[in-house]
Structure 1
C-alpha cells in the first residue's frame, strides 16, 4: 500500500470515528468535556481543543435556534429552507444539527421519495405544496423541487420541454410563496470532486452508512461534470431577489454546519420571547387507587 492509499484510509477511519462521536454528541446535554474521552485514541491536544470549540459553538447556535423557534411560533412566521447539493455534500448533517433540539411539531423535515406513477402526472410542484408550513412552522426540505434542475436533468428523467417549463415556472412559484408570507431560504452545499470521492469511500467502508450509497449515487459520481453544468445553470436561472441562493462551502463538514446555522439565524429578525415561569403541579393521590404490578411476560428483558 502506497503512502497516498494509507492517507486515504487514515482519513476514512477518522471520518468514521468522527461520525460515531457526533452520534454520541446527540445524546449529550451537559458535561461537555465528557465528549472528549478520545474513543478513537491518539488524538492530539490541538484536535481535542478544536472539537471542544466546535461543540461549544454548536451548542450556542442551537440555543439561538430555540429562540428563533419560539419567535416563529409567537409571530406566526412561516419558513421554508431548501437544502440542495451533491450526494454526500453534508445536507443531512446540518439538517440533523438544526432540528436536534427543536420541537418536531414546529420544525419538521420533508424528504420526499421519487414520485410515483400518479404524482408524475400531477402539476410538478403539487406534491411539494402539501408540505409547506402553516403559521408558526418551519419546514426543511432535504432536496426539493430543484430535483428537476439536477438529478432529473442529468439522468434524463424529464424531457427538454419539462426542463424549460420548470425554469419558466419556478421563479413565479417562489414569488407566490413570498407573497403568501412564506420566507424561502435556499442553500447549495458545495464540495470538491476529491472530497466527494473520499466521502463515498468512507460510506463504502462504514457498514452503518452503506445504505446511503444507492445506484443513483454511484451514477452521479460518474457524471460529476454533467451535475456541475446543471448546477451552474440552476443557480443562474433561479437566483431571484425574493428567494436568492446561498452557497455553503462544505468541504469541512463542521465549519459548514456552523456557517450555515449562523447564516440562517441572520435571515430573520428574531428576538427572545419571554416565557412564563413554570410551576410543577402537585401530584394527586387517591386512597382508592392501588398500582397494579406489570405482568412479567410483557416486560422487556433487562439485558444491559
Structure 2
C-alpha cells in the first residue's frame, strides 16, 4: 500500500509539473518543462549525495577511526542484504541521522556526534536500520527526485509571473497565471511532504524488522524528538529543503502530523512500531546485538547501558 500511495503521489507531482509547463507555453512549454526536469534530475542523480554531505560537514570514518560504529553498520547491512554503505559522522550536537546515495551500491549513512552520545548501542542500531531501510527502498533517490521536481515547479511558477504567455492584465489568462503562481508551488510542497511521510513509515517498519527489535527504534525516536526541540541544527536551519532527509525533523517548530510536516508525528511512529513489536513477538527476546563480541580494551560500546550513551 505504501508503494502504491507513493507511486500515485509521484505521478501527481509529475502531472502537476507538466501542467504548469503546458499552461505557461502549451505543448512546447510542457516539453521544455520536461527537459528542464530531466536535466535537473540527471545532475541531482549524480551529485546530490556529495552535495548534502558537504552541506553538513560530514567526514567519512572507517574501521580504524570508528570501529564500533562501522562494524555495527556492517552487521546491519548484512542482515538487510545490502552492500556496505560508506559511513559518515557530522560534528553536530543535535542527535540525528540520514541516508543518501543514488542506489544501494553508492549509498552513505551519516550520523551526528550528538546521536552517538545520546543513544545506547541498541537504539543506535535501530536508527541505522531505519536508514538502511531507506537505502533498500531507494528512498534516497526518490526524495531527491521529488525535491527537484517540487523546486522546478516553484521555479516555473515564478517564471510565469514575468514571462507567462498571457501578458495582458485582464481576462482569464491573467487570473489563471496568478492562481498558478500561488497554488502550484503549494500543491507541489504538499505532495512532496506526503511522499516523505509515507516513506518514513515504511522505513520504520522495515528498519524494525532489520534490527529485529522495533522498540529499539521507538526508544531512539523518543530521545531524538526530545533533544531536537532543545538543540538547534544550524546547518539544517540554513538549508530547510534537506530537512526531509533526517530521521527526525531537524528544524524548530515541529511535532505534529500537519499538512506542512515533512515527517509523521513521532507519537504515531512509535505507536506503529509498538504494533510491529507485538506482531513480531519480540518483547523480552535476547538480541543479536547482545551476542556481538565487544572490544576487550573497553571501547565505547561497553558503556552502551550507561545513561550517557555509548559514546559519552
In the superposition, the TM-score normalised over structure 2's length comes to 0.23
In the superposition, the TM-score normalised over structure 1's length comes to 0.23
Q: Which gives a bigger RCO, structure 1 or 2 (Cα 8 Å, sep 6+)?
A: 1
Q: Which structure shows the bigger proportion of residues in strand conformation?
A: 1
Q: Which structure shows the bigger proportion of residues in helix conformation?
A: 2
